[in-house]
Every structure is written in structure tokens, then in C-alpha cells.
Amino acid sequence: MNSSKQPSVEGMKILVAVTGGIGAYKICSLVSRLVQSGAEVQVAMTEMGARFVGPLTFEALTGKRVILSTHGEGGDSMEHIQAARWAEVLLVAPCTANTMAKLAQGLADDVVSTMSLAFKGTQILAPAMNPEMWSKPSTLRNKAQLMEDGFVVLDPESGPMACGDVGVGRVPTESVLLDALVQFRS
């Protein structure tokens, strides 16, 4: 096998949870690549995530309806629980400071936080937020708590931000996310 070749995600069942950050647009390319590489991908989005990238984009990329609510559509009120049972890995990307705080405290007030509580496998968080938010003691405490609870928390990248600031807070690159999915596969 060629060692420069990207690790394989073929056959993986991946639940991608998109929360409300500008980095959500980068997840479209990741999802497309996962599907093209033979992974089965189900996308769930918070209400704010769906404001950054329309659910139809992910539906076109995966061929599956995006899960937007814990109430389900068409009478399927357990769709989010079924998806949590189906997947072998849950990737929250981008993972906002708000979502990190919810997950660290075990809150379940949207589809992503509810799925996380119901999920038994590996959970990978890809934080993305303003550098000032990332460096706050409360965010760093949440990161430490999440890691103690068994979450894989990737470090955000450094660079220019949508708000004009420069610093640590960008969603990790696609290659970092792909490597994490393979490395931490359940």
C-alpha cells in the first residue's frame, strides 16, 4: 500500500453533525469526499447550522434527508435516536462554543446535543469559533471536561477569521478531519 495514500473511510457509517458557524461551508466538501470514498454518511444540523448551509446541499451530497429536529418528519419521531444507533462515529463539525458547552454539561435541547447523548461510539468534535472565544477559560474548561468524558476534541486551526481577526479558531482542515475519522473509528 502506498503510504502517501489517504486512509480509507470505505464502509464507515459516519454521522456528521453541523452546527452554526461559518466553517459549515467547508463540511460540504468533506461530506462529498466521504461519500465518494465509499462511506455512508448521515447529516444532522442544528437550526443555526442550517442558516449557514442549506440542508438540500447535504441531501444532494449524501442522497439522504438531513435530520433537523428531534421531532422527525413523516411521523418518525425517533429518527435521531436511530441515526445515533446506526453510526460508528459522530463528527460534530464545526462545533461551536455553544455546542461544546451543551455537550460538556449533558444538555439536550437540539438535534445535535440529543444525538450526542444517545450516541455510544466515538465522538469527534472539530471546534471553530472566534479566537477570543476559543481562549476563554470557560471554553478551555469545557474542552477539558469533554476530553475527560471520552470525546475526541481536535484543535482548531490558526489563520484569518470571517470576523476579521487572525488567530486560533478555524475549523480543522479536511485532511485533519479525515485522519481523525479513520484514527478514532469505533
* 2-23 tens-digit pLDDT: 444 556 899 999 999 999 989 9
pLDDT score at 186: 59
pLDDT score at 67: 92
* 108/113 Cα distance (integer angstroms): 5
* 114/69 Cα distance (integer angstroms): 10
β-pairing verdict for 89-95 and 166-170 = unpaired
pLDDT band at 163 (very low <50, low <70, confident <90, very high): confident
Could you tell me what percent of the chain has a pLDDT over 70? 92
pLDDT score at 79: 76
pLDDT score at 158: 83
Is residue 8 domain-resident? no
Residues recognised as catalytic? 163
Report the largest interatomic distance among the alpha carbons of the chain, rounded to a whole angstrom.
48
Is residue 105 domain-resident? yes
Of 52-66, 112-126, 161-175, the range with the lowest mean pLDDT is 161-175
Residue 177 lies in domain: 13-183
- Displacement of CA 19 from its chain's centroid (Å): 7
Is residue 89 domain-resident? yes
- The cell numbers describing 102, all together, are 451543551
Return the higher-pLDDT residue of 163 and 90. 90
pLDDT score at 69: 82
Query: b vs e for 8-28, b when ≥16 Cβ sit within 10 Å of the residue's Cβ?
Result: ebeebebbbbbbbbbbbebbb
Integer CA distances (angstroms), 175 to 33, 42, 82, 84, 131, in order: 10, 19, 28, 24, 22
Q: Which helix (H) or strand (E) holds 79?
A: helix 79-86
Return the higher-pLDDT residue of 88 and 160. 88
Is residue 111 domain-resident? yes
Is residue 168 domain-resident? yes
Is residue 1 domain-resident? no
Q: Which amino acid is it at 12? A: M
Is residue 41 domain-resident? yes
Is residue 43 domain-resident? yes
List Cβ neighbours of 83 (8 Å cut-off, separation of 6 or more). 15, 42, 44, 67, 115
At 175, which CATH number? 3.40.50.1950
pLDDT score at 161: 81
How many domains does the chain divide into? 1
Burial of 171 (0-12, 13-18, 19+ CB in 10 A): buried
